[in-house]
Structure 1
Amino acid sequence: MSSQGFGPGSPKSFRYPRGGTDFDLESGIARKGRKPKNPHLEASILMRIRYFYEVHPVAVAAILLSFGLGVLVLLSVYEARFRTMGSGGAWSSEVGEYPFPNLRNLVMVAGHSIYTSANCGKTDREDSWFLEPYQKHPGQAATFLAHIREGVDIAGKDDGALLLFSGGETRKDAGPRSEAQSYWAIAESKGWFGEFWTTWAFLLSCALVVSYDFKEERFAQLHRTALGFPEGRFFFSGTPATPTAREAAQKGEAAVRAQFLEDPYGCLGSLHEKRLKRDPFHRTIPYPDGCPELKSLFSYCGPVPFSGHLPWIE
C-alpha cells in the first residue's frame, strides 16, 4: 500500500511566502507582515524624556501636579453627578422642600383607557380609544370625558387641590402611551384647565376619587382602608356607565371586590398577575424613590392593613 507524499510534486504541497509576508492558514491569503519595532527609536525617546527630566525637574513636577489635580477635579464632578442620579430625584422629607407645599387635597381621576387618535378632535368616538372587548359599547368614550371634566371642575374650585390623572402604559397594542397622559392631553386640548394646573405635593388633608359610580364601595371602603386614609376625609364622585355596559360591569366589579377582600394590596395571585399584565413595557413605579415617605407602604404585602407610619395621619 503506497502513501502519497507532501513533497514539491504533491498537489497538496505548498510553500510559506517569503520576504516579510505572513500566511493566513484559514483564508489561504498571504498578507504583508508588520514591520518590526525599531529598538533604537524607542531608546531615543526614553533618553530624551530622561534628559528633559534631568534638565528641568521643576517643570516636570509642575506638569505632573497639574495632571493629578485635573484628574481629581474630573473624579469629583462625576462623583457628584452619579450621586444625583442615584438619589432618584427623591424629595427631602421636609415639607418646605416640596415644590407646592401648600397643596393638601387630592383629586384623583381613575384612568380606564388610552387615547390613540392622531389628534384630539374626535375624543368622544370609541374608535379614537383603545378599548378592550368588554368596553366596546356606544357612549363609552363619553364616559371617559365625563370623568376628565368632573376632576378638572372639582380641583379647579379648590386652590389647595392637586389634580392627578391615574393610569400608566397599560396596553401593549396601544403603544407607549399612558392613560394619565391621554386624559391630560384631552383636558388641555379642550381648554378645561384654564390657568389651573399643579404637580404633586404629599401631605393630604382630603382625597376625592372620580370614577364610575358602581366602583364607589371598592374605593371608599377597601382601597381607602388599605391605605389607612381617614374615612371622614375621603370622598367619591361617580358617573354612570353606559346603559348597555352597566349590568356586566356590576358583575365584574363584584368579582373584583371579592378578590380585594382577600388580598387588600393586590400583591398575590390573580390580582398580582393582573398588575403585571398592566405593565407590558416593564415600567417601574417611581413613588418609592420620589416619595420616600411611602417606601414601606409600597413594599408591604399582607391580608391586614399596613400598620406603619403614613404621612396623611398626622
Structure 2
Amino acid sequence: MAFPKRKASIISLPLFAEYPPQPPKRSLRQTLFLSFFGLLFTISLLINAFHFMSCQLDGVEKESIRQAIVTPSDNIEAGLLEKHFLPSPPHQQLQDLVLVAGHAIFVGSDLEHVEEDNDWVLEDYQKGGEQVKTFLKHIRKGVELTIDNGEALLIFSGGQTRPSAGPRSESQSYWVLAESLHMFPSFENSTVFNRATTEEYARDSYENLLFSICRFYELTGHYPRNVTVVGFGFKRRRFLELHRAAVKFPKERFNYVGIDPGDSALGRMGGENINGLGLFRDDLYGCHGKLRDKKINRNPSRRSHPYHLSCPSLSSLFNYCPDNQTLIFPGTLPWE
C-alpha cells in the first residue's frame, strides 16, 4: 500500500542579523553599587597620588603643608599665620612709651569751636567746665614729651566708647586734633609725626596702660624700657599704685604727668576715690561688678582686641580675672 508523501515543513530560525544581542539590563541597585565602588577607586588613586607627591618634597615644604592643611587653627591661635603677612616693626629703635589716655571723643567739623562742649561727645560730669581744654593740654603735653625724647613712641589710647560718636574712637580724635592743631613740629627733619600712633581698643584706664604696652610691642618688636602716662592729676594714684602694680611694671621706670582742670579739682578727687581708685582697689583687673559693666557699656560696637595674637607672651595677663579680686597676676611678664 502506498502512502502519499508529506510536504516537508520548514522551520524558520531567527537570524542573528535580524535580532542583534541586547546587553543585560542592570537593576538600579547594581548601578548604584558599581558607581559607589568606582568613586572609591578614584578617591584612592587621588590619595595615593598626593602621598607620592608629598614624599618628593623636602622636610621644610612638608612641614609647612602639614601646618597649613592639618592644623590651621594652631597656626591662627599662635599668631603665626597673621605674622606671615605683617611687615617688620617700623620703630625698632624706639625704647620709651609716652601714653596719653583718652577721655572723650571730638566730633566737630572745624577747629573754631574745638574748646566748646558741643563739638565733643561727653559724659554729663564732663560738661560745663574746663574738661575739654584739659584734654587738649594732655594731647599737647604728650607731643612735647615725645619731641624731647627722640627714643619715645607716642600712643593715644582709647576705643570706640560712645554710641553717638559712631566708629570714631577717643584715640583717633586725639591724633586728628594733634595734627589739625599743628602740634606736631613742621620742620623737615622732625620724626614726631611718624612716632605718634593710636591704640583703638581700650575701654578703661587699666586697658589704656596694658593695651598701649602691647601696641608699643607691635610697632617696635620689644616692650618699653620706660613708660610715661599723661592724664588727669587726680588719677595719679590709680595709675601708680594700682595699674602699674597690676601689670607688674617696675616702679623706677614708670612716670606719671598729671594735668587737672582748674575748676572743682577737690570735688573730682572725691569722685575719683569712689568711682575710680576705690573700685580698682577692690577689683584690681577691672573684670567684676561695676568695672565689668563699665567695660561692656563702653563697647557699643562690640569690638574685640587682637592683642592675644600680636603679644602672645601677654595672653595669660589679658585673660586674668581672679576670684580673689586683689590677687596679683602670678605669672612672669617680659619686663620683669
TM-score relative to the length of structure 2: 0.64
Q: Secondary structure in 1 aligned to 2:227?
A: strand
- 8 Å CA contact retained: 1:288, 1:294: yes
Counterpart residue number, 1:118 = 109
Match of 2:171 in 1: 180
Contact residue 91 and residue 97 of structure 1 kept, 8 A: no
The residue number in structure 2 matching 1:167 is 158
Following the alignment from structure 1 to structure 2, what is the Cα–Cα distance between the partners of residues 89 and 148?
36
Aligned partner of 1:190 in structure 2 is: 181
Q: Which amino acid aligns with 2:293?
A: E
Residue 254 of structure 2 is matched in structure 1 by: 234
**RMSD over equivalenced CA pairs, Å:** 2.7
Superposed displacement of residue 176, structure 1: 1.4
1:296–1:85 CA distance, 2 compared to 1 (3 A): closer
Q: Indicate which of 197, 217, 231 corresponds to 1:211.
A: 231
- The offset of 1:90, in angstroms, is 5.3
| Moved beyond 6 Å, runs of 4+ | 82-86
Any idea what SS the aligned residue of 2:173 has? helix
CA distance in 2, matches of 1:120, 1:91: 39
> Deviation at 1:127?
1.1
Q: Which residue pairs with 1:15 in the alignment? A: none
Letter matched to residue 261 of structure 2? A
Query: Are the aligned partners of 2:76 and 2:82 in contact in 1 as well (CA < 8 Å)?
Result: no
Taking the aligned partners of 1:91 and 1:249, their CA distance within structure 2 comes to 44
1:107 aligns with 2:91: no
Shift of 1:88: 8.1
* 1:154-206 superposed Cα distances (whole Å, 9 cap, x missing partner): 01211211111111000112211100001000001122223312353341111
1:247 to 261, 266, 280: 266
* Cα displacement string for residues 15-52 of structure 1 (whole angstroms, at most 9, x for unaligned residues): xxxxxxxxxxxxxxxxxxxxxxxxxxxxxxxxxxxxxx
Which secondary structure does the structure 2 equivalent of 1:107 belong to? strand
Structure-1 residue corresponding to 2:121: 130
State the aligned residue count.
235
- For the residue of structure 1 that corresponds to 2:308, the secondary structure is helix
In the TM superposition, residue 137 of structure 1 has moved relative to its aligned partner by: 2.1
Matched to 1:263, the amino acid is D
Cα offset, 1:139, TM superposition: 2.4
Alignment match, 2:240: 220
The counterpart of 1:305, out of the listed 328, 332, 335, is 328
Aligned residues of 1:112 and 1:144 also touching (Cα < 8 A)? yes
What is the alpha-carbon distance in structure 1 between the residues aligned to residue 223 and residue 130 of structure 2? Answer: 37
Whichever residue aligns with residue 248 of structure 1, its letter is G
User: Is 2:302 aligned against 1:282?
Assistant: yes
Find the aligned partners of 1:117 and 1:230 in 2 and give their Cα distance: 39
> What residue in structure 1 maps to residue 11 of structure 2?
none
- Give the % identical residues: 39
Cα deviation code 1:223-255 (max 9, x no counterpart): 1000100000000001012414x2332122101
CA contact (8 A) 1:88 1:290 kept: no
CA contact (8 A) 1:91 1:98 kept: no
Q: 1:89 and 1:159 mapped to 2: Cα distance?
A: 33
- Check conservation: 1:126, 1:139, Cα contact below 8 A: no
**SS of equivalent to 1:243:** coil
Stretch moving more, 114-123 or 177-186: 114-123
Contact 1:137 1:242 in 2 (8 A): no
2:291 corresponds to 1:268: no
* Aligned counterparts of 2:120 and 2:113: Cα–Cα separation in 1: 10
**Per-residue deviation, 1:106:** 0.7
Distance verdict in 2 for CA 1:89–1:140, change over 3 Å: farther
Give structure 2 stretches of 5+ with no counterpart.
1-45, 54-64, 186-190, 198-215
